[in-house]
Amino acid sequence: MHLYGLIIGIAIIISLNYFEKNNTSVPKPKLNIFIFGLLISMLIGARAYHIIDSWSYYSQNLGQIINIPNGGLGIYGALIFGFLFIYIFSKLNKISILSITNNITPILPLAQSIGRFGNYVNGEISIWWLESILCFILFIFIKKYKNYNPTALYLIGYGLIRLITEYFRTDTWVISNFKIANVISLILVIIGTYLLKYPVRKLAPSSTQADLRSSG
């Protein structure tokens, strides 16, 4: 197995294990379809973000579009598509979207910290170690302040991390001298700041909790 894929796989397994143990939102009968849909959505989004970013290369090498083991996954694409899937799933199943994301976001910084080692072995991102360290610090921070809205803390924290690391990077998507990652980062910080007003205790509806107990 390619070492890049192995490292990404480890990060995914850690995240899924955490979510399954801490899930208080998705009823067990729907858990497998939720996890499968989320993983596929994030994979498609991550690959799409990278391909659009590097379209000058992929337009001349169409066969490489599906060569995921060779690297090329954009975290912001994964997050955008992942949150879109969660939004659709929450609406279809009448579950608070924040009750779901609050079960997922606490582990995301650790998964991202581990995933950056995959960028290292693949020769991607010269300052991979900086984001890896900062993501691990964010993981500890969210864990320490677990009584706050973890979704908000994650969006603010990772948005700020990318604003810092993008300053040192020259290999990211740029349109009209604007780094797309910086634009997305600012949006995340704004959304996260807004979500701080929603306490954790108000996010999980009692009906969902009843579903979880009855399905156990």
From first to last of the 216 residues of the chain, give the pLDDT tens digit: 477 778 888 999 999 999 999 998 999 999 999 999 999 999 999 989 988 888 878 888 777 777 776 667 888 999 999 999 999 999 999 999 999 999 999 999 999 999 888 777 766 666 778 999 999 999 999 999 988 899 999 999 999 999 999 888 767 778 877 889 999 999 999 999 999 988 775 444 434 443 444 344
Which amino acid makes up residue 117? F
| Residue 32, pLDDT score | 94
| Residue 167, pLDDT score | 84
| Residue 148, pLDDT score | 87
d(CA 167, CA 165): 5
CB–CB of 110/135 below 8 Å? Answer: yes
Helix axis angle, 150-166 to 108-121, nearest 10°: 30
| Dihedrals phi, psi of 61, to nearest 5 degrees | -140, 65
CB–CB of 81/41 below 8 Å? Answer: yes
d(CA 115, CA 128): 9
Total number of domains in the chain: 1
* Residues forming a β-bridge with 100: none
Picking from 101, 125, 104, the residue whose alpha carbon sits closest to that of residue 4 is 125
Q: Which domain holds residue 191?
A: 3-215
3-state helix, strand, coil in the chain (%, to 5): 75, 0, 25
| Residue 125, pLDDT score | 63
| Residue 200, pLDDT score | 75
Structure-block tokens of residue 81: 């598509």
CB–CB of 157/128 below 8 Å? Answer: no
Enumerate the H helices of 63-149 as residue ranges: 75-92, 97-104, 108-121, 128-144
